Amino acid sequence: MNKTQDVTIENRHMRLVITSAGIARSLVFKPTNTECLIQGKRVPISTITEPRPYQNEVKLAYPNKRTTFKCNAARMEGDTLTLGYELIPWEATVTVKIAADYVAFTLEAFNLTEDYGIAMTEPPISEMWFLRLPVREMGHWGDWLNVIWDDEVAVNVLAAEPCANADSEEAEGYRILQAGTDAQVQLTGVTAALITCAKDELLDKIATVEGDYGLPHGVASRRHELYAASYYWTSTVNPTNVDAHIEYARMGGFRLMNIYYPAFLESRGYRLIGEYDVYKREYPKGKADLKAMLTRIKQAGITPGCHFLHSHIGRDSKYVTPVPDHRLNLLRTFTLSKPLSVTDTTVHVEQNPIHSTMTPNRRVLKVGTELISYEGYTTSHPYTFYGCERGIDKTTVNAQPAGYMFGLLDVSEFGATSVYLDQYSDLQDEVADGIADLWDAGFEFIYFDGSEGVNPPFWYHVAGAQYRVFSKLQPEPIFAEGAAKTHFSWHMLTGGNAFDVFRPEKLKEETIRHPFRQAPRMRDNFTRLNFGWLGYWLPSDETIGTQPDQLEFVTSKAAAWDCPVSIHADPATLAQHPRTADNFEVLRRWEEVRAQKWLTDEQRQMLRDPDQEFILLLDETSSFELVPYDRITNVAGDSTDVMAFVFERNSALYAIYWHISADRKLELPLKPEDFVVLESMGAEIKAMAGERRDTTVVPVGKRRYLKTSRSKRDELIAAFGDARILDL
């Protein structure tokens, strides 16, 4: 390629300069004349990676290994940017679309500039980055959205369709934002957008790209009124008990109800989607009953959503038994070195089975019409799988000749009750059709569980599997969450992810360790996460169970980042827990805070202190009041049956206290005149003098308050430590 003048690409917001030698020189945010690229680094605007050098002379001169070739020439003619590369005789042509709010780059073609010298016409390319920008550090890095920003400016390299790979490389003082392609997906016809704008305008610009390229409406979703709402999650709701679920959801102030598919489907997989006999017996009219139930939930002012394992196929489904579908994913392929009869318990193979899974229940071979489990395998010749059980999962035993090719089945690592489907097949679309048919019953948001269960390349198939389902859901979900995400998922998983259930004794610690640390990272990606699928545990000899302070902690830390929570709920369990009313009152107050957008920026910053707990009170006028509070760690001689916290407000000292599982009495070594017992702020109740001198007996069951002078803090804490728990 002949050297030409530098290439300048600009719109009203930005000016990008690429040297004639193919180096990204400058990216200026024009309104403030801010240079966004690191200076003094020679970062090529593009690179091509080959599995090994293919051009004959290059192959002879250099080692035959995975090799990356740098762009060394660039020229612009009209709207076409042509890029050349060192050593190899390739040019790439990129169409440049200059829009008011972004610049789009579409990789159109690869062209040979000289005879290759070998009989090959297809591009021998494994990966290619057609846009690479060394953006300087600005303080904020959004790894999911692929954006770097500060309070003034944001630079975003955004995939404009699923087949474009948007990613980055970290360097000293800067990060290379890049967009490219992968031979395992699609090498040409892919588009990425470069957005350089004021930080506060970024979402508006992304919304424009979403509209222009027909993408899911990720920006509009993040602006939906229910975006920060928490949800009530259930796997047991049905037409016979839906009213009980609604009652509890209302008790907790939930505006959303997420329904796990086993609540209405019999199969652990997708067996007969759309036909009545897939539904549980509580749905005798199938989809009609499901639709009526969802209508009932909506009439109660609650928006229903659904939770699916979209990339999983249950091992009891028609896709697995009696004949496994040819579209199930295989982790490895083997060739029979000897014929396999219907009675053989050893499978002889040509390839070394080393590193095949040895996890129980995942040791499964898919051979023709049957699934075969194995006890182990040999890693020296002759190679075998031995100790085989034939026809597992009620599949059909068959015989196969030497030379027959078969595979190691991709069984889910989570419980081994399902298998993953081959994303290169149309089985994901078939499953998507089934989910879309169920969605049509009236669901409005969705959780994509098991999103990690796809074949590589994961950057494409994680979002790709979600998109194959999402694109068939009409109307479009108001928001979605998922178990795994890649760049393109940003447009769909606007709610990010939810963290799994943690036990009560570890809940606060794990909240800080996981979602609390994730929240600022998600904020850097202009989005939120769900602070957790909170379990609901009954008090027992093994656990204190779910208690109000635990829920207060998690939901308050979530609210600090404008994030919701979710709780796994079932009326049968909720009814057995003595503190359900208190637990759900905590959730109700915080949901009202979210709905009213009551928190100030100062309060959010205060709540972000990982070491301080807070309580949301209703004051004497039933208005919200947020105060820090501290646990009294020693109550009644280190009993775990009573919980107590102290806080100050309005020049007085308070304690909030309760029994975790019963209604009892608490004898405190305090005089009755030294404090007041409150059912709620301003609502006093009488305390009784204790049998012992200078003691007082107060009820301990649901949450109540003690009020005293601030000067008595040490005395009050000591009194709880010396208290006695009495029977009624």
pLDDT tens for each residue of 517-562: 999 999 999 999 999 899 999 999 999 999 999 999 999 999 999 9
What is the Cα 127 distance to its own chain's centre? 27
pLDDT of amino acid 688: 82
Asked if pLDDT for residue 580 goes beyond 90, the answer is yes
Asked if 152 and 32 touch (Cβ cutoff 8 Å), the reply is yes
Cα gap 564→553, rounded to integer Å: 13
As a residue count, the chain comes to 728
3-state helix, strand, coil in the chain (%, to 5): 25, 35, 45
Asked if pLDDT for residue 114 goes beyond 90, the answer is no
Query: pLDDT-derived band of residue 1, with 50, 70 and 90 as boundaries?
Result: very low
Please compute the mean of the pLDDT values over residues 98-105 and round it to a whole number.
Answer: 98
Asked if pLDDT for residue 305 goes beyond 90, the answer is yes
Asked if pLDDT for residue 158 goes beyond 80, the answer is yes
Per CATH, the homologous superfamily of domain 231-313+421-491 is: Aldolase class I (3.20.20.70)
Query: pLDDT-derived band of residue 117, with 50, 70 and 90 as boundaries?
Result: low
Q: Is the dihedral of CA 473, 475, 476, 481 positive or negative?
A: negative
Domain segments of the chain: what residues?
A: 7-215, 231-313+421-491, 330-409, 504-611, 628-726
Which fold would CATH assign to domain 7-215?
A: Beta-galactosidase; Chain A, domain 5 (2.70.98)
Q: What is the pTM of this model?
A: 0.94
The larger pLDDT score, comparing residue 54 to residue 651, is at 651
Closest CA to 461 of 494, 423, 429, 490: 423
Long-range pairs for 166-175: beta carbons < 8 A, 24 or more residues apart:
166/192, 166/487, 166/488, 167/459, 167/487, 168/143, 171/38, 171/41, 171/134, 173/38, 173/136, 173/137, 174/37, 174/38, 174/41, 174/134, 174/135, 174/136, 174/137, 175/134, 175/135, 175/137, 175/141, 175/148
pLDDT of amino acid 518: 96
Long-range pairs for 678-683: beta carbons < 8 A, 24 or more residues apart:
678/704, 678/705, 678/706, 678/707, 679/704, 679/705, 680/618, 680/705, 681/617, 681/618, 681/619, 681/620, 681/705, 682/619, 682/620
Please compute the mean of the pLDDT values over residues 456-481 and round it to a whole number.
Answer: 97
Closest CA to 374 of 316, 334, 422: 334
- Whole-number mean pLDDT of the chain? 95
Query: pLDDT-derived band of residue 273, with 50, 70 and 90 as boundaries?
Result: very low
Query: pLDDT-derived band of residue 4, with 50, 70 and 90 as boundaries?
Result: low
Please compute the mean of the pLDDT values over residues 511-516 and round it to a whole number.
Answer: 97
Asked if 313 and 270 touch (Cβ cutoff 8 Å), the reply is yes
Cα gap 265→269, rounded to integer Å: 9
CATH assignment, 628-726: 2.60.40.1180
